[in-house]
Structure formats: structure tokens, C-alpha cells
């Protein structure tokens, strides 16, 4: 087994120094080493989107990225985005529309949705559905999620519902 | 509806000003899940906790000739490598049968296979280590010697004399058979103007909960107590079974269920690897955690459906349906699941076929056979999609045969809305259904006639769109008739305890569970409404056998109807108790007082008399100031179970509008409509979202989902890249409407809504595809409707 590697990174604005095995993926590093359990593991092969986090501003599947690859990187998880208030409006829309049931997909879903909303303030339902097509939700059937994102898009771009 | 409500004078919860019943209010505690602060089993860590990884059989059927683990046991972090035989010293095997399913048989199943494996994925040994990675490393060094045996894979030949018998002690591969014959079927067919037959094929699929099954078992040898943290729908059932097979009393087992990442019936069962994890904790005297990976989920989470059903319908030229007949065959893997058994789905198919219709002539046979594939059992809408697809497919074919519109043939045959109470030919008793009201509402919502015009216009441009209709009935609010009468210790009653705390807030403990449906919300809505307090003052506790009343949990569309009524009745008692104390404090009569908006008020003019917080302060801290002889009881508990009807049937109808690309075989869903009747609606938004989520699970089965086995019993698509699930891009918007026929069996009047969507979605889609393909003279009766199936039917491949 290869020896541990020292990494230094920023996680939700906090400096993190760690020694990790090269094979450790980012999702397991966040969950098991940093106890950031809001990042969920659903399929472990990059299909379901439950482990979506932000690395250097881009959303990534943390099960497909190794922890050592985040050396010197800025990593943000659902805990960070929640505490900073960055997605408070989106979370509020999800709450009002009951856009989550079991909630297991929700952190990843919020990450992906917020990424889309940042890219483009004016969105139609087809664009929303297309962007979310890498995030699996077994509970809702997606319509409530699409509704909540559409509502947030309207609010952010100053359009009335 | 002629029955009278039990306590008409007390019908306060539904009508009181400020009532939350029938209102859309956000669920409590969503922020926790949205901020990543939930606590799923996969998040739980305990001191000294070890991780278990199971070695699983690569063969569908094989003898285990040897397990060599000496090298693995020397690996870093390894605590133990345990075989099935070693584990059998702490846990006994089980047999998944129920006495009311006459003739159902199965073989003893062990937590870890002993001597023989019966499906690809069955656990053969457990590796326990300090971390999961260490356990997986060591598992690679365990060497198991197998001797492959003949695998029984095709259910159609499972009963042939030439086919190997999986369990010699059972004599054959037949697990269960049920025959039913009502009315005069042969005569009806003989006298019918037309008789139509078809063979229906339903793929094997599975639940794909986003959080895999997970359990942390913590045997505390000093307390002689086992705590099981598990995402289960039925904590008291888990308590009973774990105690039974580990040789413990139920009082020695506590089951805790925090957040659950999706269930849908997948997590209502008890799996061999979960039993093994409980046993390993007892054997090793420390907490042990098991979290399935995705490949394990596909290989060991129960599969569902996998039916081949011959169907036959008789019809007269005036549209009268004269008879239904079915012959259903299903394969359930090598064991009947425990403790709910794997015969329930086939039994439901027999129960439900033809259920919405008035004909009295019905004959059915269902056979359930063993195979060397993963176990099969109850998944959302058990049996309903099979029964609905067969029934509604036959009805459409009958309509086509006599040249009648699909809506019209249903209008002529659905049981009349004023015919209740009545019974189906299979003996199901219906209290009050609303098929015709639902049909009328549906055709209005979808503008049926205009859609037909649009369809015809597009047809001329070689665009092939179809409309599919599916009526259905749904089993909800099951009484003891479901499991209890068959000897299973699965409670059909639920309990709720509700109490006023010292600041006038309310704590409510309920035996139903939460997996995202909104159990907490509906309970808080009922308690708040009945008591007269705001919902934010109601805290709901569930999912803990130490801290809730005894009850069944949340499955079979029962939480709102049964647990909700228990909450209503418990809160009525608490309300009376509060008013009795308030009357003593205020020197008034209890009847002159009411509770509104967190305060006791005058019933007559709503003038505030005393805040609940102040009342609680007096009761708890200055009881000396109460009049002599007054002992306040600010806690009440009540239980509820339906007694009059074995099941509260609901009904509904669905419609699908889709387009078939005849060149590629792809089906594009354009719109879906549902009208259903779940009785009293506690929270319209939650009901609608249950319906929508259920529909999409049915759409997955209709178009994408199938566990593909090869002839040797190897599951060839056990990952989420190859097993397709519905994603947002392919799913349509779904319009939901309601008809409301409350059940008179409870004061609340609520029936279940959790499975209605799944029950009819695939039938609506299949009928729509066949409607779209009508010009091509082909009928498809197989799901999933993959491009390959569609193109084959069109003769293009």
C-alpha cells in the first residue's frame, strides 16, 4: 500500500491539513475524515450526483475525485453553502414546494441547481430538467424540484412568478 | 354514503377555525435535510465501531467446499473473518411463510450461507475490520472453493420435471399457488360476442433507494442489550425478529430509525446481511456497521414484479365486459423473504385483477416459483402494477375489438359510484369508491376530446402520439388481515402519545415512521388542529422502539390513515384533560371553554382566559394551588386499527400522453394525469407529491428498469450506468386531481395515497404506446417498453 500524502486545502473557508492515502476519494475524505456528512454517497461511480460538491468554483462528483487532487484547492460542501447563506433563497423555495422527501439527494441537487442558476438567470423548465439529469431523485419525480428552481430563477432575475 | 360518523358531535379537527387539515403547510425539519445536517445510518459512528464487508457468491447456485481465511485474518485492522457456520452459534435460521397463505412453503435461510449458495450475491463470509477499506482489502485474500450446481433461472421451466429442485426437502420449486373462481366464467366467455387473450410480461426491477441499506448494530454486553440503528419502515417488526433469532427478549432490543434515504418497500423487510450484522455485533461484543455498496444493492435489495401473466377478457358489442381470467406466474428467487413472505404480490394480483369493474365472473390462477436469482418481495404498490396493466390492457384490447373508445368502455363497466358498499369478484370489500367521478374529472383535466383531435391531426404528419387510460384500485390502511392473521408479529395498529410540556408546547410520540412522505408533518397538523395549538409548538418523535408507542410503522399506505387517526384520538383526550384542569383553575365548566391559538378561551366569545404555558406552569410547578382532588393528566395515549374493513380501498385513474418515434423506438412522455381518491386529504401538497413520486417509479418500470439476468443466473447490469432509472430529463409534468370519499371507519376519514401513482402509471403508458401504434396493427404487452421492444413489435429489427 502506498504511503499517505500530505495535502493542504480550504474546506468551507477553513484551512485543512491532512495526510491521506492516494486511493482515498474526496467523498470519503469529506465524510469520514472531516465529518462533513452532508455530502452523500449514493452510487460510488459518478452516476447519481448525491456526492456533488464544489471544487475551485466548479461542481464535481466527489466520488470520482481523489482527495490528493484537492491539494491547494478550495472545496465547498452543502454545510458551507448553507452557513454562508449563499443558497438560502433556493433552500426556501425547496421548503415551500416540498421539493425533497427523504432528502438524501438534496445536498447534491441544491449544488447542481445553484450552479445552473449562477450560469444563467433566465431558465425554462427544459433547461432545468436537462441540467439536473445527472442527479437522481427516487422520491419526488422531479417536478417539485424543477418548480422550486424555476421559482428561484424568477426571483433572482427580478421576474415575477 | 349512509354510515354515520362515530362521534359526530366531536368532529372538531376538520372544521375548527385555524385547522391545518386540508392545508398545504411546509414539513417540519426540512432545513435539517437541506443543510446536510440529517442523520442517516450511513452517517452514524459509535466508539469501538467496526465495519463489516460481506464476501458474496459469484455463482447463482453452488456448494461451498471450503473457506480459507488465514491470510486475510493477518491483514492490518482485521478483527474477524466469520463463516455462516460460525455465525450460526449466535443466530438461528428462519423460514418465510405465513399461515394464511395456504400451502406457501420455503426453506430455512441463514444469515450467512452454510454449505450452499442459492443466488449470485448471497453472503458467504463476513470480514470485520476497523475500517471498511481494511475489510475490503482483507476480503480479497479470502479464498472460497465452490462447486457450481445447476441454476434454475427461467420461471417458465422451473416446475418442469427435468428442472433441478432447488430445495430437495420441499419436493419441487413451487412456493405457492392460489386458485380463484367466481361467477360462471366459462359460460360468460361462451356467450360473449368477443373474447380477447394476451400474454403480459413484466420485467424484474428493484427499488434503487438512493441511500443503500445500512445498519449499525451495537450489542452492549454489560447491559445485555442490542441497539439497532437502521433505516427501516417497521422498527417494532425489526425488534421482534432480531430478538427472536438472537435468543433475546424484545425488551433487550432497541431499534432506532433516524433519517432514511428512501424506502419504497425496500426497507420494510429484514435481510440476511442485516441479521448477520446484528449477530456479528453480539459475537464480537462491539458495534458493527454495514453499508451496502451499489453493486450489493442491486444484487441483494429485494427485486420486484417479474411476472408472466396470461389474460383473457370477454366483451359484448354493447361494451359490457362479461368476464376476466388470468394465469399468473412469478419467480421469487430461492427463498420466500422474511417475515412478510414473497407470495403477497401474486396473491395481490389475484385479488386486484378486474377490481374496478362490475363483472361478477372472474377466474384466476397464480403460481409462485423458486429460482436461483436474488430474492423478490414487496415493493411499492405490491401487485398493483401487474393487476392494473393486465386488466387495463385487456379492457383496451376489448374496446379496440368492438370499435369502442377507451373512455366509453370504462364508463359502461366501472362500478357505479352509488353501488357501495359492495364486493369484488375476488371477495374484496369496497366501502366507497368513486370511479365515475374520477373518470369525469380526468377527461376534463386532460381535455380528452381535444387531445384526440390533436392526435388525429398529427397522425397525418406521421407523428404518432398515443393516449393511455388506466383505472385502478389501491389497498390502503391494512388491518390485521394482511400479516397478523398469518402469524407474523407485524402490528397493524398504531399508537400515539401526546403531552403538554411545561411551557405549553406539545410533544407527540408516534409509532409510524418517516422516510420523507411527511409522517411528521401530518401528525403535527392533526395534533395542532385538534388541540388548538400552532404547528410550530408540536414536536413529533418517531422511529425509536424505546420512545414511541408500539405499532406497525409506515408501509402499505397506512401511516396517515391509521397513525393519523391514533394522533387525532390521543389529542382529543389531551384536549379534554386540559379543559378539565382549565375549568378547575378558572372556576368554569369545561364545556364553556375551548383551546384556540395556544390559549384556553371562552367557547362563546373566544375571549382569552389562560395561556397553555401558564396552565402548564400551574399544573407542573404549583399543583398545590389547584382545587383539592384535581390531578391533572397532561399526557394521553390512544391506539387505532381498522376493524370493519380489512383494507380501506382507494381508487383512481391515470392518463398518459406520449409520442413514439417509430424509427428509433424511443417513447417520449409528454404529459401525465392522475385523479385519485384517498378520502380526507390532510396536506394536499404532500398527497400530490406522493402521487407524483409514485407515478415516476411506475414510469421507470414502464420504460427503463429491468434487472437483466443471463441464463446462468448472473445479474448483468448491477450498476446505475447500466440499470436505467428515471432522471429529470425524461420525466413529464404530472397533473394531479382528487375526488374525496372519506372512510367512515375513522373520524379522520383518511385513506392511503402512497402507492396510487405506482399502481397505474405503467398501464397508462403501455396503453398509450399501443394507442400510438394502432395504425401499425401491433400490440405490445411487455414492459419495460425499451426501444428494442418497440422496434421488434414494429417488425423493424
DSSP string, B560-597: IIIIHHHHHHHHHHHHHHHHHHHHHHHTS-GGGEEEET
Closest CA to A133 of A109, A106, A159: A109
Cell readout for A98 is 416540498
* Cα–Cα distance, B128 to B75 (Å, whole number): 11
Measured CA angle at B258 (ends B253, B259), to 5 deg: 150
3-state secondary structure of B300: helix
**Would the CB atoms of A45 and B728 count as touching at under 8 Å?**
no
Residues of A in contact with B212 (CB under 8 A): 42
Helices H / strands E in chain A, number of each: 6, 5
Q: Are B637 and B549 in contact (CB under 8 A)?
A: yes
Q: What is the mean pLDDT of chain B?
A: 96
Dihedral pair phi/psi, residue A52, rounded to 5°? -60, 125
> Residue B511: what pLDDT?
97
Q: Is the pLDDT of residue B6 over 80?
A: no
In this structure, what C-alpha cell is assigned to residue B785?
A: 417498453
Determine whether the interchain pair B262/A138 forms a contact, defined as Cβ–Cβ distance below 8 Å.
yes
Q: What are phi and psi of A113, to 5 degrees?
A: -65, -45
| A41 contacts B734? CB cut-off 8 A | no
pLDDT the model gives residue B152: 97
Q: What number of other Cβ atoms are within 10 A of residue A148's Cβ?
A: 26
Integer CA distances (angstroms), B647 to B346, B364, B755, in order:
17, 21, 14
Please write down the HEC assignment for all residues of B222-246. Answer: CCCEEEEEECCCCHHHHHHHHHHHH
Looking at the complex, does the CB of residue B40 fall below 8 Å from at least one CB of chain A?
Answer: yes
Strands across the sheet containing B608-611: B593-596, B599-602, B608-611
Segment B111-118 shows an average pLDDT of 98
Please state the rounded mean pLDDT for residues B153-172.
Answer: 97
User: What is the spatial distance between Cα A18 and Cα B11, in angstroms, rounded to a whole number?
Assistant: 62
Q: Are the Cβ atoms of A136 and B210 closer than 8 angstroms?
A: yes
Compute the distance between CA of residue B264 and CA of residue B556 in angstroms, rounded to an integer: 9
Measured between beta carbons, the chain A residues lying within 8 angstroms of B34 are 78, 82, 91, 94-95, 100, 103, 106-107, 110
Q: What is the mean pLDDT of residues B294-303?
A: 98
Following DSSP, what letter does each residue of B380-444 receive, concatenated? SSTTHHHHHHHHHHHHHHHHHHHT--HHHHHHHHBPPTTS-SEE-TT--EES---HHHHHHHHHH
Tell me which residue in A23, A50, A106 faces B34 most closely, judged by beta carbons: A106
Q: Is residue B5 scored above 50 in pLDDT?
A: no
CA B627 remoteness from chain centre: 51
Q: Other CB atoms closer than 10 Å to residue B626's CB: what's the count?
A: 15
Instruction: Look at residue B738 in the predicted model and tell me its pLDDT.
Output: 98
Positions of E strands within B739-791:
782-783
Interface A-B: count of C-beta contacts within 8 A: 176
Q: Which residue has the higher pLDDT, B2 or B418?
A: B418
Cβ neighbours for B132, distance < 8 A, ≥ 6 positions apart: B51, B53, B291
- Whole-number Å distance between alpha carbons of B690 and B686: 6
B650 φ, ψ to 5°?
-115, 175
pLDDT for B15 equals 72
Mutation for A interface: B34, B42, B735, most A CBs within 10 A: B34
State how far residue A139 is from chain B, nearest Cα, in angstroms: 5
Name the residue of chain A whose CA is nearest to B137's CA: A1
DSSP output for B607-665: -EEEEHHHHHHHHHH-GGGSPTT-----EEEEEE---S-SS--EEEEEEEEEEE-TTT-
The secondary structure of B682-747 as a DSSP string is: S-HHHHHHHHHHHHHHHHHHHHT----B-TTS-BS--STTTS----GGGPPPEEEEE-----TTSS
pLDDT of residue B10: 44
Output the pLDDT for position B12.
52
Name the pLDDT band for B645 (thresholds 50, 70, 90).
Answer: very high
Q: Distance from B446 to chain A by nearest Cα, in Å?
A: 18
Q: Is the pLDDT of residue B227 over 50?
A: yes
In this structure, are residues B639 and B551 in contact, taking their beta carbons and an 8 Å threshold?
Answer: yes
pLDDT per residue as tens digits for the range B480-525: 988 989 999 999 999 999 999 999 999 999 999 999 999 999 999 9
Q: Considering chain B, what percentage of its residues have pLDDT values greater than 70?
A: 98
Euclidean distance between CA atoms B378 and B234, whole angstroms: 14
Chain B residues whose CB is inside 8 A of the A132 CB are 727-729
- All 3 cell numbers of residue B499? 403531552
Note down pLDDT in tens along chain A; length 161 residues.
Answer: 589 999 999 999 999 999 999 999 999 999 999 999 999 999 999 999 999 999 999 999 999 999 999 999 999 999 999 999 999 999 999 999 999 999 999 999 999 999 999 998 789 999 999 999 999 999 999 999 999 999 999 999 886 55
Alpha helices in A65-142 (DSSP H): 78-84, 88-97, 106-119, 125-131
Beta strand B362-369 with B321-331 is parallel
Is residue B35 classed as helix, strand or coil in its secondary structure? coil
Q: What local confidence, expressed as pLDDT, does residue B75 receive? A: 97
Reading the block at residue B322, the C-alpha cell is 362479461
Smallest CA–CA distance, residue B702 to chain A, in Å, is 14
CA dihedral sign, ordered B587, B591, B592, B597: positive
The ipTM (two decimal places) reads 0.97
Q: Please state the rounded mean pLDDT for residues B714-743.
A: 97
CA pair distance B738, B473, nearest whole angstrom = 14
pLDDT bin (cut points 50, 70, 90) of residue B377 is very high
pLDDT of residue B13: 61
Q: Are B582 and B593 in contact (CB under 8 A)?
A: yes
Please name the member of A1, A37, A139 whose beta carbon is closest to the beta carbon of B262. Answer: A139
Contacts of B262 in chain A (CB under 8 A): 101-102, 104, 138-139
Is A141's CB within 8 Å of B731's CB?
yes
Backbone angles phi, psi at B313, to 5 degrees: -135, 140
B:18-37 residues touching chain A, CB 8 A cutoff: 26-27, 30-37
Is the pLDDT reported for residue B713 higher than 90?
yes
Of the candidates A75, A66, A73, A76, the one whose C-alpha atom is nearest the C-alpha of residue A5 is: A66
Q: Closest Cα of chain A to B517: distance in Å?
A: 6
Residue whose C-alpha cell reads 492515502 in the numeric block:
A21
Closest by Cβ to B210, choosing from A39, A42, A79? A42
Query: Quick one: pLDDT at residue A159?
Result: 66
Cell of B141: 485474500
The answer to whether the Cβ–Cβ distance between A45 and B294 falls below 8 Å is: yes
Residue B640: other Cβ atoms inside 10 A? 26
Question: Taking CA atoms, what residue in A is nearest to B45?
Answer: A32
Top residue of A139, A148, A150 to mutate, by most chain B CBs within 10 Å, is: A139
DSSP state of B448: H
Rg of chain B (C-alpha set): 28
Q: Is A77–B36 a contact, with Cβ atoms under 8 angstroms apart?
A: yes
* SS3 category, B176: strand
Task: Say if residues B701 and B385 touch (Cβ distance below 8 Å).
Answer: yes
- Chain B residues touching residue A61 (CB < 8 angstroms): none
* Residue B14 confidence (pLDDT): 67
Q: What is the mean pLDDT of residues B212-239?
A: 97
Separation between Cα atoms, residue B649 and residue A82, nearest integer Å? 43
pLDDT digits (tens, 9 = 90+) for B165-222: 999 999 999 999 999 999 999 999 999 999 999 999 999 999 999 999 999 999 999 9
Residue carrying the nine cell digits 439476468:
B709
Predicted confidence at residue B94, as pLDDT, reads: 98
Report CB contact under 8 Å: B720, A95.
Answer: no
| B698 touches A at CB < 8 Å | no
- Taking contacts as CB-CB distances below 8 angstroms, the residues of chain B near A38 are 35-38
Q: Cis bond leading into B670, ω under 30°?
A: no
Model pLDDT, residue B2:
34
Is the Cβ–Cβ distance between B392 and B469 less than 8 Å? yes
Contact B261 A40 (CB under 8 A): yes
Of B83, B4, B172, B7, which Cα lies nearest the Cα of B572?
A: B7
The three three-digit cell numbers of residue B273, written as one number: 446481511
Residues in chain A with CB shorter than 8 Å from the CB of B133 are 23
Helix, coil or strand: residue B286: coil
For residue A76, the cross-strand partners are A54
* Mean pLDDT of the region B284-303: 98
The answer to whether residue B301 scores a pLDDT higher than 80 is: yes
Cα distances (angstroms) measured from residue B618 to each of A155, B261, B503, B610, B632: 48, 43, 10, 11, 10
Nearest by Cα to A142 from A121, A161, A160, A125: A125
> Residue B242 pLDDT more than 80?
yes
Long-range contacts from A31-35, C-beta under 8 angstroms, 24+ separation: A31/B43, A33/A67
Residues of B in contact with A78 (CB under 8 A): 34-36
Check whether the bond before B248 is cis (ω within 30° of 0).
no
Amino acid at each position: 500500500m502506498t504511503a499517505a500524502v500530505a495535502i493542504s486545502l480550504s474546506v468551507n473557508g477553513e484551512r485543512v491539513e491532512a495526510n491521506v492515502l492516494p486511493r482515498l476519494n474526496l467523498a470519503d475524505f469529506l465524510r469520514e475524515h472531516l465529518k462533513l456528512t452532508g455530502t452523500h454517497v449514493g452510487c460510488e461511480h459518478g452516476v447519481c450526483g448525491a456526492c456533488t460538491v464544489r471544487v475551485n468554483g466548479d461542481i464535481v462528483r466527489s466520488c470520482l475525485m481523489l482527495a490528493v487532487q484537492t491539494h491547494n484547492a478550495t472545496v465547498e460542501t452543502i454545510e458551507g453553502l448553507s452557513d454562508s447563506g449563499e443558497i438560502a433563497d433556493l433552500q426556501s423555495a425547496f421548503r415551500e414546494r416540498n421539493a425533497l422527501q427523504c432528502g438524501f439527494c438534496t445536498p447534491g441537487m441544491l449544488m447542481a441547481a445553484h450552479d445552473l442558476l449562477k450560469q444563467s438567470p433566465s431558465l425554462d423548465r427544459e433547461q432545468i430538467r436537462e441540467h439536473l439529469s445527472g442527479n437522481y431523485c427516487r422520491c419526488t419525480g422531479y417536478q417539485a424540484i424543477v418548480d422550486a428552481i424555476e421559482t428561484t430563477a424568477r426571483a433572482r432575475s427580478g421576474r415575477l412568478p | 354514503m349512509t354510515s354515520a360518523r362515530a362521534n359526530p358531535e366531536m368532529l372538531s379537527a376538520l372544521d375548527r377555525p385555524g385547522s391545518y387539515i386540508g392545508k398545504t403547510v411546509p414539513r417540519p425539519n426540512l432545513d435539517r435535510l437541506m443543510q446536510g445536517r440529517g442523520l442517516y445510518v450511513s452517517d452514524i459512528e459509535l466508539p469501538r465501531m467496526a465495519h463489516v464487508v460481506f464476501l458474496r457468491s459469484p455463482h447463482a447456485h453452488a456448494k461451498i467446499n471450503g473457506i480459507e481465511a488465514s491470510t486475510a485474518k493477518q491483514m492490518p485492522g482485521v478483527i474477524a473473518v466469520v463463516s455462516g457456520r460460525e455465525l450460526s452459534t449466535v443466530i438461528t435460521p428462519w423460514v418465510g411463510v405465513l399461515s394464511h397463505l395456504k400451502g406457501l412453503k420455503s426453506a430455512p435461510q441463514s444469515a450467512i450461507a452454510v454449505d450452499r449458495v442459492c443466488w449470485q450475491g448471497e453472503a458467504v463470509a463476513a470480514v470485520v475490520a476497523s475500517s471498511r477499506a481494511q475489510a475490503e482489502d482483507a476480503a480479497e485474500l479470502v479464498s472460497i472453493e465452490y462447486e457450481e450446481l445447476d441454476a434454475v433461472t427461467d420461471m417458465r421451466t422451473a416446475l418442469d420435471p427435468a428442472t433441478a429442485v432447488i430445495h430437495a426437502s420441499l419436493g419441487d420449486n413451487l412456493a405457492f399457488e392460489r386458485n380463484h373462481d367466481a361467477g360462471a366464467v366459462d359460460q360468460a366467455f361462451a356467450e360473449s360476442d368477443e373474447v380477447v387473450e394476451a400474454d403480459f410480461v413484466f420485467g424484474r426491477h428493484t427499488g434503487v433507494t438512493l441511500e443503500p441499506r445500512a445498519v449499525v448494530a451495537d450489542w452492549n454486553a454489560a447491559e445485555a442489550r442490542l441497539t439497532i440503528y437502521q433505516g427501516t419502515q417497521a422498527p417494532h417488526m425489526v425488534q421482534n425478529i432480531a430478538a427472536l433469532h438472537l435468543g433475546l427478549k424484545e425488551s433487550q432490543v432497541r431499534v432506532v430509525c433516524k433519517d432514511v434515504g428512501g424506502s419504497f418497500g425496500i426497507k420494510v423487510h429484514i435481510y440476511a446481511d442485516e441479521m448477520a450484522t446484528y449477530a456479528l455485533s453480539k459475537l464480537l461484543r462491539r458495534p458493527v456497521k454495514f453499508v451496502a455498496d451499489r453493486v450489493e444493492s442491486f444484487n441483494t435489495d429485494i427485486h420486484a414484479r417479474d411476472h408472466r401473466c396470461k389474460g383473457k377478457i370477454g366483451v359484448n358489442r354493447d361494451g359490457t365486459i362479461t368476464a376476466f381470467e388470468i394465469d399468473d406466474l412469478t419467480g421469487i428467487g430461492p427463498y420466500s423473504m422474511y417475515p412478510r413472505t414473497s407470495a403477497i404480490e401474486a396473491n395481490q394480483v389475484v385479488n386486484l385483477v378486474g377490481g374496478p369493474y362490475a363483472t361478477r365472473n372472474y377466474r384466476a390462477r397464480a403460481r409462485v416459483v423458486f429460482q436461483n436469482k436474488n430474492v423478490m418481495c414487496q415493493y411499492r404498490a405490491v401487485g398493483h402494477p401487474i393487476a392494473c396493466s393486465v386488466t387495463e390492457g385487456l379492457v383496451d384490447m376489448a374496446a379496440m375489438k368492438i370499435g369502442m373508445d377507451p373512455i366509453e368502455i370504462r364508463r359502461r363497466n366501472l362500478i357505479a359510484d352509488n353501488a357501495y358498499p359492495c364486493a369484488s369478484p375476488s371477495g374484496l370489500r369496497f366501502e366507497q369508491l368513486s370511479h365515475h367521478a374520477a373518470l369525469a374529472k380526468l377527461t376534463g383535466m386532460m381535455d380528452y376530446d381535444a387531445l384526440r383531435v390533436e392526435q388525429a391531426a398529427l397522425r397525418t404528419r406521421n407523428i404518432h402520439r398515443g393516449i393511455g387510460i388506466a383505472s385502478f384500485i389501491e389497498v390502503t390502511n391494512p388491518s390485521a388481515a394482511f400479516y397478523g392473521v398469518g402469524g407474523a408479529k407485524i402490528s397493524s395498529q398504531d399508537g400515539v402519545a401526546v403531552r403538554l410540556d411545561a411551557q405549553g408546547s406539545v410533544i407527540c410520540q408516534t409509532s409510524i415512521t418517516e422516510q420523507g412522505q411527511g409522517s411528521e408533518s401530518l401528525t403535527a397538523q392533526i395534533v395542532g388542529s385538534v388541540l388548538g395549538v400552532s404547528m410550530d409548538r408540536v414536536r413529533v418523535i418517531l422511529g425509536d422502539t424505546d420512545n414511541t408507542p408500539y405499532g406497525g410503522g409506515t408501509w402499505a399506505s397506512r401511516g396517515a390513515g391509521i397513525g393519523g387517526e391514533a394522533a387525532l384520538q390521543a389529542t382529543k383526550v389531551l384536549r379534554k384533560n386540559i379543559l378539565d384542569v382549565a375549568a378547575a383553575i378558572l372556576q368554569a365548566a369545561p364545556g364553556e371553554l375551548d383551546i384556540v391559538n395556544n390559549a384556553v378561551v371562552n367557547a362563546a366569545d373566544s375571549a382569552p382566559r389562560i395561556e397553555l404555558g401558564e396552565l402548564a406552569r400551574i399544573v407542573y410547578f404549583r399543583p398545590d394551588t389547584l382545587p383539592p382532588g384535581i390531578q391533572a393528566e397532561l399526557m394521553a395515549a390512544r391506539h387505532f386499527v381498522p376493524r370493519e374493513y380489512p383494507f380501506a380501498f382507494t381508487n383512481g385513474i391515470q392518463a398518459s400522453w406520449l409520442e413514439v418515434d417509430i424509427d428509433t423506438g424511443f417513447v417520449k412522455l409528454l404529459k401525465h394525469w392522475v385523479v385519485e381518491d384517498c378520502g380526507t386529504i390532510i396536506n394536499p401538497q404532500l398527497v400530490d407529491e406522493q402521487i407524483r413520486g409514485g407515478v415516476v417509479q411506475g414510469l421507470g418500470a414502464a420504460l427503463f428498469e429491468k434487472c437483466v439476468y443471463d441464463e446462468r443466473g448472473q445479474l448483468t447490469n448491477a450498476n446505475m450506468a447500466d440499470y436505467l432509472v428515471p432522471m429529470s430529463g425524461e420525466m413529464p409534468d404530472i397533473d394531479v386531481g382528487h375526488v374525496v370519499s372519506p372512510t367512515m371507519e375513522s373520524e379522520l376519514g383518511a385513506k392511503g395515497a402512497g402507492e396510487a401513482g405506482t399502481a397505474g402509471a405503467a398501464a397508462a403508458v403501455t396503453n398509450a404506446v399501443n394507442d400510438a401504434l394502432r395504425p401499425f396493427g401491433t400490440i405490445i404487452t411487455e414492459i419495460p417498453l425499451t426501444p428494442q421492444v418497440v422496434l421488434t413489435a414494429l417488425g423493424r429489427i
